[in-house]
Structures are given as structure tokens and as C-alpha cells.
Chain A
């Protein structure tokens, strides 16, 4: 078996962190090789070194047997290495073709860009590899799945023989993921070699031939995917036994706490992002909002929390109309919010943990007296309790600045603050994004605990697994409208996936049959 890629003894350090510690990776020609690891395990660093974005401190790289020095991405491109980034690098108001040929445009005799020839080439490539795109469509008008195909075509246009996919399924619906898996197989059938960076075990089982597992910057081992179970892969990745399914005790579902009716919200540019959205959340239940990123989930939460004005509809919290209430008023009435982006909306990274813990009630007793003076000692005492209670790992206790915490501990800080305010409704957005398995387990368990305490929880997540795992009811959102809302168990992942893509037909057909 010849090797497309041989990376041996790769070491890369960042200030204070050894991101890659003497890693060896061998990828056979024509295989799909998965690179598995938690966030921060060093997957992206290793691939950035291969792609020339970083230079390794030591180690040797061989491509098809030749030792190479990949100084920058241009060298990687020349060597036939392409990368499909997690966040697409496309020019939105350019057409598909323009994006694909950007920087390597075919020229006419007069030196102008020969768009006709380019379009023909793109159409050819797209046919050869089964990558369906409209060469003349503008990128801003095509789906996320199609944008990803454009990214793949970009690498193929540059004659890539090795294609690196960085977390390619993070932005796709289940159906689009299936399509991608087929594309990957097609690409290897045409002689391409694929490196798939992921932390999703299911995808590895579905498509990869072999898998190299990284943990804390070190290569744990390379395995034949067919010979291991998902459970074994998970244990290799985390370094201990992992519990996949959380036990979900039955709770008694109470009265309606949050009632949203006919809600419409626009984004900052004025485009209507949530249209006529209605949902009710009861005491002691978790309602999940399933949908692909960018289908109005963010704006829905902005509308509910008061970050964006509501254009139409009503929001009732415990029977009080909060549709146009100020953000502080909503918080005082019992609306908790674990935001999607903890850096942007959840924490002041220059503030200490104790300051962050009182961000929403610092102006009230017991933290402020009636003259407006702060009680720092009280803040520190309470924060220390939360640190212990929520297992926040902080170097200097309550005086640690939030910015110096790891992502998981930052998230725990936000969760601790919100839960400590004991809100009657908890809005939770992407609570486990970017966290390692241990922190994910912990945070999910905490959310279930809150459900047990009779809180009404609205959970927005792009991870269907998370929704399926935690929720009592599941609402699907597509292009800002509610597609359907079901009890857990009434629908399977496939059907939810269809609805996430906006199709309600199949479901309705079934309803008719029933």
C-alpha cells in the first residue's frame, strides 16, 4: 500500500500549549482517513501544517513518497492538496464559477477572463464527480450543501489529489450529510485521497476506511474502522468509558410558562428571519428547536430575550406580556438565557468569575445596597460556591478572569449564573458547542436537572443528537417558519431532517394515512 501522506514526528507548539506532540500520520492512497479527536486535540493544527497554514517545529512530511517543505498554502495547492474549510471561504456575490476559478481564471487571447471556458470546465468537473451545482448561480442564493460542493469543486479545479475536509457536516442537514458521504465515496472511486477531520463517530463508521485518533496533541493510534465499534472509538478519543445516552427521568409536565404566538423578528439588516412562529413551553419539559444553522434560530432567541425588537406576535411569560419589555424586565420576570455565543453575549472576558456571576443581578440586594454600593465580598463568597457546585476549574478561584478559562469552564460559568438565578424559563442555545465530551455530558445533565426542578426549557441546537437526547418535544424550523412540532418518539431523525430542509409533505402524507 503506497502512502499519499506521511507525516512523521510532527511537533507544533503555541505559547503555553503543545498542540501536536510527535504525531505520526500515514494516509494510504485512495482511502478515506478520518482524524478523530475532541476540540483542542490538535486535529486542525495538524491539518493546517499539512496545508501550509502553519509550519511545524519539527517533523517530516512526505507526499506520495517525496519529502516536501510546505511553506504556505500555495505550495500545498501545487502538491495537489486541497482543503474544504469548516467555514466556507466563498465570495458571496460572485457566481459559482467565479468562485471556483478565482485566482486561476482561464484567459482569452485579450487577457480577459474567459468565463465561458470556465463555466464549461466547472460543468465538466461537476458532472465527473457527481457534484451538482449551477455554474451561473450566485453563491449567496444557493444552499449550504451546494456551497460546500462549490468548495470541493474549487479543490478539484486546482487538481487536488488529496482533499482535507474540516468538520464538513457541522452545517448540513441529515440528508445533506448522506449526500456528502456519497460524494466522498465517489471521490475516492475517482482516485482521490480524503482526510476527514471530525468528532462525529457515526460519520466515521459510515464512510472512513481507517481512523487516527488524537488526544491532547498526541496520536493515540490508528485503527481499521470496520474492526472497532463507536463505543471503542469514543473511548480512544476521550481516554475513558463514555456514557452516550443520558438517563432521562420522567417528569410531570405542568402548565404553560412560555407562550409564543405568531412571532416575527427581523435581523439587523431588516430582513424578516422569523415568520409567524408559535410555540408553547410547559413546566418541566424541554422543547427543542431543530434546524440547520441560519434558519432563524438566532433571531428567534433575540426576539424572545429582547435583543431584537419583535415585529409582530406576542410573548407571554407566566401570563405576563413581555413582547416589548426591556431585557432587564424580562430577566426579572424569570427569563434565563444561555446564549449561543458565550464570548459575545454570555461573558465579559476581562471580568472575574465573581463579576460575571452577578452580571444580571449586581444592582440588587444582596450585591448592591440601597446607596448603589457593591458588596464585593458577598459576590466572591457566592461565586466560590458556584465554582464548587458547578465544578468550574479556575486557577485563581472567584478572582480568575473569565477570558483565561477554557471553553468548557466558560460555558459552565454562564450555565452556573443562569441556573443560579432560578428562572422559570430557560432559553438554551447551542449549549455544548465546541466543548469536550466531559463538559458536554456535564452540561446536558445540568439541563436535565433543571427540567426535573420544573423549569420550562427551550433548547436550540444544530446537533440533532443533542435534540433527540434531551427533548420532550421537538419543533422544526426552516427559513424562519415552524415546520412541525412533535412529541419525542413520534418522528425519527430522518423525518426531522426532511423537515429541517423545509419539506413538510411526507409528514402530512403520513398524517393523512393515520
Chain B
């Protein structure tokens, strides 16, 4: 009886659409961020100048254009998007993948190993390294999936634990790599790097690399699996209503394991791309890079769709790139984290928005009924 179509105004319909809510939430995050900047006595305009420069490369203060900033924004966005896809893929199957970070770290580690120890054949070398990163990510995620499916181990707990296992295993392994000190290894051979000369030339020497293509491919693959294949159909059914899926004969146990493995593959690939695209040497990690955790927020903002996650990842990449520029303009870079945090909080408030809408349409109906 309470099930009704959301009636009425353009605003109502806008807010009813999930994508529109995400856009609204992002704008709200920026609005509150702007107010905060103003409250600490800085000029919010400088924040937007930095954002404009990160987006377009145009420095409004001196009128100079540097396309390198665009390249860096895109490059920063790649791991955000891939880790977002990781979180989103699991979420569509009804799972909460907190383990993107761990899957990212094992991917990064294997990519560094292959880069330093693998055969130095052009192209093949980095392809092999990234393939290794993807596979280990899939295994790392798939392990969680199997534990969940077979023994009902909560994926939230096991992924969090495995994040630490991944970090310390990574340190142990990387300390044994050639030329390892406490924080870095020897330089990678040229053949292992993802450097893309064409991108470098058009973006004035940014770090943008082959990983960008792989990210685009991952977005397409994500969309394709989810929307076009019967594997995705089963996963989505499982995610929405596990009991109905089971009752309809969908192999739920397999779905869970497979979706965690695919989620892990995305994060593992992200680790590989960061390792070989953004650095010339292997890193002995002393802490987490946090791409995996940020992926959770990216997926939330992107509403776990392929396109939405890509756009949200670009936003996060842009913010990260804008941090240094903000500091140059006396805006504390922490404001970007605050904006990110606010966006996530507002996303969580989505149900409150829905409640408000219900209340509004109720009022409207009351007026109609009582007015007649």
C-alpha cells in the first residue's frame, strides 16, 4: 500500500535518480568545504583556482597553460578508479570489500618482483608484471570469497586482516629484492616501465602511462560483465536478494567467490600500475597507500556503476592533484580530504533525502485531497 511512484515535480524526479543524488552530494561537499575554507580565514577562490588548474592546466593567476596537470589528474585517477571498481564489483554481488588495499598491495608487490627479476623483453616484461599483479589480486580476493562462501567467514573481517598480512608480506618480500634498502629497491629496467612516450609528449611530460588504457579497458569489462553476461546477471541477483537467488538455483557460493576474485583482480591491477607507472624503483612499503580504502568512497559516490565509478575516480584524482597546487596558494591541502569525507557522509545521508521526498509528496497529496 505504501509502494507508490514518486510523483510530481522536476526536483522530485531529479532526486529520485541515483546519479543525480551523487552529483548533488558532490556539490554539497564542495559547498561545505568552501565555507570551511572561508571560516579559517582563507580565500575559497584560491581553492577553486587550484581545482581549475588541476582540471584544465590553466593557471588563472598568471594566465599560463600547462597541460601536464591534466595528465597528472588522469594518472592519479587510474588507481582510484580501479580500486573503486574493485569495491563496486563486490558490492554489486552484496559483499563489502574492505580488502581493496591488501589486494592493491599484493598486486604492487608482484609487479615489482616481476619488474626486477623477470625477463627484460620490451612490452612483454610489463605485460607479464601487470598480469602477475592482476592474478595475485584475484587470488587474494578470491581467498576471501572462498572463506565467505564455504565457511561463512565475514568478508569484512577477513579483508581487513588480510590488508595487514599483505602489507607485512610485501615488506618481507621487497626487502629481499635486488638493491633493497629499508625503503626502496634498485631501479626498474626500462622494459618494465609503463612509460608512454605519446602521452608524455602531449601532456608536457606528465606521468600518464599505459595504465590509462588498462583502466579504460577495466571500466568497459566491468560494465560488460555486469550488464551483458549471465555471470553478471547471477551476481547482481545474488547482490540484491541472496535468498531469492539461491531459491532460483543460482549458485550463490560460486557467485561470491567469483565476485571477490574479480574485485581483487581490479585492485591488484591498480597496484601493478602504480608500481610501474608512477615510480622508477620498487618501494618497500612502510604504510598503506590508501588507494584501496579510497576506492570504497569512489564506489559509493559512483553508485557502483561503471561510468559512475569512473567519474568519481576522476574527481578523486583531480582532488589529489590539486592538493599541491592548493598548498602553493596557502589553502591547507587537508581540505581535499575533508571534502572527500563530507561527500561520503552525504552519500550515507541519501536515505534522509529519500525520507524528505516522501514527506514532501505526502504533504502535496494531503493538499490535493483536503482541497477538493
Write the residues of chain A forming the contact surface with B, with a CB cutoff of 8 angstroms.
11, 13-19, 21, 40, 57-58, 305, 307, 326-332, 337, 339, 344-351, 355, 359-360, 362-363, 367-368, 372-374, 395, 403-406
Do B240 and A346 touch across chains, with their CB atoms under 8 A apart? no
- Contacts A374-B228, A374-B229, A374-B233: A17 and B2 contacting too (C-beta < 8 A)? yes
Closest CB-CB distance, A344 to chain B, in whole Å? 5
Do A307 and B249 touch across chains, with their CB atoms under 8 A apart? no
**B40 contacts A by Cβ under 8 Å:** no
> Contact partner of A349 among B228, B241, B248, B249, CB < 8 A?
B241
Q: Which of A13, A19, A344, A374 gathers most chain B CB within 10 Å?
A: A13
Do A349 and B369 touch across chains, with their CB atoms under 8 A apart? no
Residues of A within 8 A of B362 (CB): 13-15
Do A351 and B1 touch across chains, with their CB atoms under 8 A apart? no
- Tell me the dominant secondary structure on chain B's binding face: helix
Residues of B within 8 A of A305 (CB): 247
Do A362 and B4 touch across chains, with their CB atoms under 8 A apart? no
Do B244 and A40 touch across chains, with their CB atoms under 8 A apart? no
Do A328 and B370 touch across chains, with their CB atoms under 8 A apart? no
Chain A residue at smallest Cβ distance from B359:
A15
> Contact partner of B369 among A11, A15, A348, A368, CB < 8 A?
A11
Do A15 and B361 touch across chains, with their CB atoms under 8 A apart? yes
> Contact partner of B244 among A332, A345, A395, CB < 8 A?
A345
Closest CB-CB distance, B351 to chain A, in whole Å? 15
Residues of B within 8 A of A307 (CB): 246-247
> Contact partner of A16 among B5, B231, B243, B245, CB < 8 A?
B5
Chain A residue at smallest Cβ distance from B252:
A327
Q: For the complex, give the distance between the alpha carbons of A13 and B372 in Å.
A: 14
Interchain Cβ contacts under 8 Å between A and B, 30 examples: A11-B369, A11-B370, A13-B365, A14-B4, A15-B2, A16-B6, A16-B365, A18-B369, A57-B366, A307-B247, A326-B251, A327-B248, A328-B250, A328-B251, A346-B244, A346-B247, A347-B241, A347-B244, A348-B237, A348-B241, A350-B241, A351-B237, A359-B250, A360-B249, A362-B230, A363-B233, A367-B230, A395-B5, A404-B3, A405-B3
Q: For the complex, give the distance between the alpha carbons of A57 and B369 in Å.
A: 10
> Contact partner of A355 among B1, B233, B251, B361, CB < 8 A?
B233
Q: How many A-B residue pairs have CB under 8 A?
A: 109
Residues of B within 8 A of A15 (CB): 2, 4, 6, 358, 361-362, 365
Closest CB-CB distance, B83 to chain A, in whole Å? 25
Q: For the complex, give the distance between the alpha carbons of A332 and B230 in Å.
A: 17
**B282 contacts A by Cβ under 8 Å:** no
Segment 241-272 of B: residues with Cβ below 8 Å from A: 241, 243-251
Count, chain B residues at interface, CB 8 A: 33
Do A345 and B249 touch across chains, with their CB atoms under 8 A apart? no
Closest CB-CB distance, B66 to chain A, in whole Å? 45
Chain B residue at smallest Cβ distance from A374:
B230
Chain B residue at smallest Cβ distance from A342:
B244
List the 5 closest pairs (A to B, CB-CB), nearest first: A16-B4, A328-B249, A345-B247, A359-B248, A368-B230
Residues of A within 8 A of B7 (CB): 16
Q: For the complex, give the distance between the alpha carbons of A21 and B372 in Å.
A: 12
Q: For the complex, give the distance between the alpha carbons of A58 and B7 in Å.
A: 22
- Contacts A14-B1, A355-B233, A372-B231: A350 and B247 contacting too (C-beta < 8 A)? no
Q: For the complex, give the distance between the alpha carbons of A346 and B247 in Å.
A: 8
Do B230 and A58 touch across chains, with their CB atoms under 8 A apart? no
Do B228 and A359 touch across chains, with their CB atoms under 8 A apart? no
Do B240 and A349 touch across chains, with their CB atoms under 8 A apart? yes
- Contacts A16-B7, A372-B230, A374-B229: A40 and B1 contacting too (C-beta < 8 A)? yes
Q: Which of A15, A329, A404 gathers most chain B CB within 10 Å?
A: A15
